[in-house]
Amino acid sequence: MGLKKFRPMTPGTRRLIITDRSELWKGQPEKGLTEGLTKSGGRNNHGRMTARHRGGGHKRRYRMIDWKRDKFDMVGTVERIEYDPNRTAFIALVKYEDGEKRYIVAPQRLSAGDKIVAGEKTDVKPGNAMRMKNMPVGTIIHNIEMKPGKGAQICRSAGTYAQLVGRDQGYAQIKLPSGELRVVRQECMATIGAVSNPDNMNTNKGKAGRSRWLGKRPHTRGVAMNPVDHPLGGGEGKSAGGRHPVTPWGKPTMGYKTRKKGKTTDKYIIRRRKSKK
DSSP state at residue 60: -
Q: Tell me, what's the pLDDT at 255?
A: 85
Stated length of the chain? 277
Per-residue pLDDT tens for 184-222? 999 999 999 999 999 999 999 999 999 999 999 999 999
Q: Count of CB atoms within 10 A of residue 268's CB?
A: 13
Q: Tell me, what's the pLDDT at 237?
A: 86
Find the radius of gyration of the CA atoms of the chain.
22
| Domain 226-277 fold | Ribosomal protein L2; domain 3 (4.10.950)
Query: How far is it, in rounded angstroms, from Cα 180 to Cα 196?
Result: 22
Closest to 128 measured CA to CA, from 190, 208, 80 = 190
The pLDDT of 50-58, averaged and rounded, is: 96
Q: Alpha helix locations (H) across the chain? A: 208-213
* Architecture, CATH, for domain 3-200: Beta Barrel (2.40)
Query: Structural domain boundaries of the chain?
Result: 3-200, 226-277
Q: Tell me, what's the pLDDT at 105?
A: 98
Structural contact between residues 83 and 24, judged by C-beta atoms closer than 8 angstroms: yes
Question: What proportion of the chain, given as a percentage, has pLDDT over 70?
Answer: 99
Structural contact between residues 262 and 273, judged by C-beta atoms closer than 8 angstroms: no
User: In which band, very low, low, confident or very high, does the pLDDT at 276 lie, cut at 50, 70 and 90?
Assistant: low
CA dist list (Å): 52 to 55, 216, 256: 9, 9, 19
User: In which band, very low, low, confident or very high, does the pLDDT at 275 lie, cut at 50, 70 and 90?
Assistant: low
Can you say how many angstroms the Cα of residue 230 is from the centroid of all Cα atoms in its chain? 31
Query: How far is it, in rounded angstroms, from Cα 252 to Cα 41?
Result: 25
Domains 3-200 and 226-277 alike in fold:
no
Q: Residue 243 above 80 pLDDT? A: no
Query: How far is it, in rounded angstroms, from Cα 17 to Cα 205?
Result: 7
At 179, give phi and psi (nearest 5°): 100, -10
Q: Residue 155 above 70 pLDDT? A: yes
The pLDDT of 254-259, averaged and rounded, is: 87
- DSSP lists the bridge partners of residue 5 as 17
At 63, give phi and psi (nearest 5°): -90, 125
Q: Tell me, what's the pLDDT at 241?
A: 66
Q: Residue 40 above 80 pLDDT? A: yes
Cα angle 97, 135, 189 (rounded to 5 degrees) comes to 60
Q: Which residues contact 246 (CB under 8 A, 6 or more apart)?
A: 222, 231, 232, 252, 253
